[in-house]
Homo-oligomer: A and B are copies of this chain.
Amino acid sequence: MNLMSLPDPVAVERVDALLSHLGLRIERIVSRGQASPAGFWYDQAEGEWVLVLAGAARLRFEDETDARVLGPGDWLDIAPHRRHRVDWTDPAVPTVWLAVFYR
């Protein structure tokens, strides 16, 4: 599967598992305007290294005032239990994420 060959649009985020090995998971996530629900924060036991391959997003950490603006080639490492949310993804184009979850 080529990561830039996208599935048909659906109402929810699409997640494809690319690799799973012991404590490691690599996923492709395709967002089409989705954001985290109001007031919702991810609080994950795993570390998450995340890269934007296409599109645009705003990711916010609870411990920071301003959202991080992310476009193609931008990446972040999210430490375990660092609370964060996706404030916005571009509704006009698919936002393609590569996420590496690790323990």
Contact = CB atoms under 8 A, between A and B. Distances in A.
Interface of A: 2-5, 18-19, 21-22, 24, 26, 47, 49, 51, 53, 71-75, 77, 98, 100, 102
Contacts of A74: 2-3
Number of copies of this chain in the oligomer?
2
B21 A102 contact: yes
A69 B49 CA distance: 27
17 contacts: A2-B73, A3-B51, A4-B72, A4-B73, A5-B73, A18-B75, A18-B77, A21-B102, A24-B24, A24-B100, A24-B102, A26-B49, A26-B100, A51-B98, A53-B53, A53-B73, A100-B100
B3 A21 contact: no
Contacts of A73: 2-5, 53
A75 B49 CA distance: 17
